[in-house]
Chains A and B, each alone.
Chain A
Amino acid sequence: MAHPLPIENLVWQVGRQVRLRRAEHAGVRGAFWGAAVAALVLVFKGPLGALALGLAAGLVAAGTLAGVAWGLARRVGAGDAARVADRAFALDDRVATVLEWAERPDRTPLVDALVADTLARVRALEPRRIVARVLPREARWLPVPAVAGLLLLLSPPVPMPAGGLPDFLPSRGEEEREGRADSTLLEERTRPLAREPLKRAMLEERDFAQRAGASGAASAGDLAAIFKDTSLSGRRPDFNSFLKKGDERLKLLERVDRLPDLQSDFTSTAYKMVFRKSKALTSGLRPDQISPQKLRELLEEMERLGRKGGSWSGEAAEGMEALEGGQTDRALEAMQRALDKMRAMDEAQRSGKGLRGGRERDRGARGRDRGRGEGVGPEDQDFGDFDGLLPGRGRSPTPKGEATSRLRSTPYDAGVEGESRRGRKDGYDTNLTGRGSPMGSRLQYLGVIGQYRKLMEDAITREQIPREYHDQIKGYFQALDER
């Protein structure tokens, strides 16, 4: 069964409308690009003359025509046109289905009913434009090349720069002089510049005194005449003496350590700065590959920082001595020790509510001695009267909580019970309860915990423990203290 004529007509008309709209669309695009090229051509109106106008007009026309031709020439598929018609006339895909199914061999009897129904609906349609006009993006910008072209057309020709390279051949200049000998006017205008022999650049020490003259007599053109009546006119600047005396600012510049390092982060500590420098110095290098000069600078820096209030000046000085003796290994070890001390101090400063209490911190030198590991023992532990560390002291006068009843009732559970002990130094004796109680362990809890806390602090200071774990470890010991 062939497609009914009205349906084919509808599809053809829609296809024609699509082609026309497409031609409009492409024509505007072509006009834009043609006008753009035409404007460019009109820039060369001077050299091209009247030809430019014709060329520009031709380009605009050619662009437009090419676009229109392309839009008209492209075919519109019948299926596409049918779908456009279905949508535009609210035919619920009837036309597209008829076009597809009317000639199929496997068409069902219901297709005949569909064709008849669609035919009736198409006949009832009133022809109208259903394809909307779509303007390209170029349409908005079309006035730009058009106006530019018009302005170029009306304005005088754009002056073109004279082409050609200068002639460096000497004979050419003579030929020109000969050729133009009869025209003095031309000669005047085009007289070549007097060629002076190029002087070699020389460094000359200028003697201003000579120029000014010993007698002070001024000659024409002499700059010293300006200073004739001033004391400056006879003074000879002595840069050497200026440098010898030195300017205060220059002196300041010499003291590198006093200069603010604008590149550094002032929120970071001295330890971090030194640590970064040491890492930068030593990373990936063997001791014999390290620059002694840079190592010396770093040790000097550390020594200087140590003098300001640290305890690592000795190590830094030792490192410098070793470096003087050519012992880079020893210098590096000394630097590492000094770094460890810096880190310890940095840690202590940052953790204001650290494990060591305020009283301990107040002790100053003694605290530092303990930091070096001297005189540490259970008897030396003084836990102070600051809050939160000891049972029976400070804010918490009683031991916090009792051992749970479960610990007491279940013989298979092991636990630690404590009792406070009064005396010269308060203590907290612990007993093992549960199954392990016959072992009779009696350790002074506070003495033991003090030792372990000290070891913990040393470990945090010396070993490569990730920064994130520091607070966690300290929190654990803090919790033990509170208990």
Chain B
Amino acid sequence: MSQEERAQAFVGAFQALRAEVEKVIVGHGEIITHVLTGMFAGGHVLLEGVPGLGKTLLIKTLAEGLELSFSRIQFTPDLMPADIVGTNIIVEDADGRKHFQFQHGPIFAHILLADEINRATPKTQSALLEGMQEGSVTVGGASRPLPAPFFVLATQNPIEMEGTYPLPEAQLDRFLFKLRVRYPALEELNAIIDRTTRSRQVAVHRVMSGPTVLGFRELIREVPIASHVRDLASAIVMATHPQWELAPDVSRRFVRYGASPRGAQALVLGAKVRALAEGRYNVSADDIKALAAPALRHRIILNFEGEAEGVDTDTLIAQIVERVEATSAERKEPFLR
């Protein structure tokens, strides 16, 4: 199969998977696209939204559409790291001899739904760190690889603060995208009511296997990106740093810490998936701009002034992107803008 054919296959598979998810989930088209983008880019996705918007259902449906193992952990304050990664237990064999045997935790699945991740203690949250970054977990001194592809989809509720443990920055940085699930529009709400209050259940077909997903991940990394598009991504990430000499005023005023290099990686990888999903073989500046918010919103830490003035991170990122583009245009002569 030629690369062009593989690329076309990816476009088809992406659209098919999206269509399967949309059979169940009404609206949230952008969220579904970004979740799939995160999965094919090889990252993990954090979904944030108030209860009842279908976050968990979206992830469950996605798992149903893939021929992959799925497990769900409901995070609670008394959840322990061993409840996630597993533990060594003493077992007795047929000869009566006792030995330790590793009992796999729910993390050993292709798709892991970490529901309400901010309800667990930081110690338990950190049990996910190694798995998310390295694709393996260490239990009792032995490192155990997680199945590939390994894809964590976590949810959290932004309004309930009591009894929650906000994710530390290191944990947040492990997520490729942070997506904000908004309330549906009126038409979407009507469609949800119609679809979910009927007796007939919608069947979701499996459209993709694990090896296919891994193959597409390889293909995505081959998508070329022009240097000026890459420079735009770097400039956007750098512009989130208030210390940068060319940082826009909004960053200097409201940001304490900017996005990490992981943010730039997320931006470019996500842009490659987006380009290929649209049937393009190259990354454009529009891809970078479209993914700036989901890739950077959880990597920017506002300063006191930003918090006090209730600055919205998405608005801030939009202003930063606009300023970066304007600055690069100002440097060129009028005919080349």
Residues of chain A having any CB pair with chain B under 8 Å: 18, 21-22, 25, 76, 79-80, 83-84, 92-94, 96-98, 100-101, 107-114, 116-117, 131-132, 134
CB distance from B288 to the nearest CB of A (A): 10
Contact B335 A131 (CB under 8 A): yes
18 A-B residue pairs with Cβ-Cβ distance under 8 Å, sorted by A, are: A21-B335, A25-B335, A79-B228, A80-B336, A93-B226, A93-B229, A93-B283, A94-B280, A94-B284, A96-B229, A109-B2, A110-B219, A113-B4, A114-B224, A117-B280, A131-B335, A132-B335, A134-B335
Who on chain B is nearest to A76 by CB? B336
Contact B282 A97 (CB under 8 A): yes
CB distance from B268 to the nearest CB of A (A): 13
Contact B336 A18 (CB under 8 A): yes
Main secondary structure of the interface of A (DSSP, over half): helix
List B contacts of A97 (CB < 8 A): 224-226, 229, 282-283
Contact B284 A22 (CB under 8 A): no
Q: Can you list the 8 inter-chain pairs with the closest CB atoms, starting with the nearest? A: A114-B281, A108-B222, A92-B284, A97-B282, A109-B3, A113-B4, A97-B226, A93-B284
Contact A100 B222 (CB under 8 A): no
CB-contacts of B189-203 with A (<8 A): none
Contact A117 B281 (CB under 8 A): yes
CB distance from A105 to the nearest CB of B (A): 13
Contact B285 A93 (CB under 8 A): yes
Q: What 1/0 flags go to B26-39 for Cβ under 8 Å of A?
A: 00000000000000
Who on chain A is nearest to B220 by CB? A110
Contact A134 B286 (CB under 8 A): no
Contact B226 A96 (CB under 8 A): yes
List B contacts of A100 (CB < 8 A): 224, 226-227
CB distance from A4 to the nearest CB of B (A): 15
List A contacts of B333 (CB < 8 A): 22
Contact A84 B7 (CB under 8 A): no
CB distance from B105 to the nearest CB of A (A): 38
- Is B332 an interface residue, CB under 8 A from the partner? yes
Q: Which of B219, B226, B283, B335 sits near A22, CB closer than 8 Å?
A: B335
Q: How far is the CA of A101 from the CA of B225 in the complex (A)?
A: 8
List A contacts of B332 (CB < 8 A): 80
Contact B228 A83 (CB under 8 A): yes
CB-contacts of B1-17 with A (<8 A): 2-4, 7
Q: A92-B286, A93-B229, A96-B228 are in contact. Are A111 and B281 (CB under 8 A)?
A: yes
Q: Which of A18, A79, A111 sits near B224, CB closer than 8 Å?
A: A111
Q: How far is the CA of A380 from the CA of B223 in the complex (A)?
A: 100
In addition to A22-B335, A100-B226, A116-B4, 8 A-B residue pairs with Cβ atoms within 8 Å of each other are A93-B282, A93-B284, A96-B226, A97-B225, A100-B224, A110-B3, A112-B4, A113-B2
- Is B140 an interface residue, CB under 8 A from the partner? no
CB distance from B327 to the nearest CB of A (A): 16
List A contacts of B4 (CB < 8 A): 112-113, 116
Contact A110 B222 (CB under 8 A): yes
Q: A107-B224, A114-B224 are in contact. Are A94 and B282 (CB under 8 A)?
A: yes
CB-contacts of B240-285 with A (<8 A): 280-285
- Is B334 an interface residue, CB under 8 A from the partner? yes
Who on chain B is nearest to A134 by CB? B334
Q: Which interface residue of B228, B283, B284, B336 has the most chain A CB atoms within 10 A?
A: B336
List B contacts of A112 (CB < 8 A): 3-4
List B contacts of A18 (CB < 8 A): 335-336
Contact B336 A110 (CB under 8 A): no
Q: How far is the CA of A84 from the CA of B332 in the complex (A)?
A: 11
Q: Which interface residue of A98, A113, A131 has the most chain B CB atoms within 10 A?
A: A113
List B contacts of A83 (CB < 8 A): 228, 336
List A contacts of B3 (CB < 8 A): 108-110, 112-113
List B contacts of A79 (CB < 8 A): 227-228
List A contacts of B228 (CB < 8 A): 79, 83, 93, 96
CB distance from A134 to the nearest CB of B (A): 4
Q: How far is the CA of A21 from the CA of B336 in the complex (A)?
A: 11
Q: How far is the CA of A184 from the CA of B224 in the complex (A)?
A: 99
Q: How far is the CA of A84 from the CA of B228 in the complex (A)?
A: 12
Q: How far is the CA of A109 from the CA of B219 in the complex (A)?
A: 10
Q: How far is the CA of A111 from the CA of B336 in the complex (A)?
A: 26
List B contacts of A114 (CB < 8 A): 224, 281-282
Q: How far is the CA of A452 from the CA of B280 in the complex (A)?
A: 89
Q: A94-B282, A108-B222, A134-B335 are in contact. Are A113 and B7 (CB under 8 A)?
A: yes
Q: How far is the CA of A465 from the CA of B53 in the complex (A)?
A: 66
Q: A97-B226, A111-B224, A116-B4 are in contact. Are A84 and B282 (CB under 8 A)?
A: no
Contact B284 A108 (CB under 8 A): no
List B contacts of A101 (CB < 8 A): 224, 226, 282
Contact B219 A92 (CB under 8 A): no
Q: Which of A80, A93, A98, A109 sits near B222, CB closer than 8 Å?
A: A109
Contact A92 B335 (CB under 8 A): no
Contact A92 B336 (CB under 8 A): no
List A contacts of B335 (CB < 8 A): 18, 21-22, 25, 84, 131-132, 134
Q: How far is the CA of A316 from the CA of B224 in the complex (A)?
A: 94
Who on chain A is nearest to B221 by CB? A108
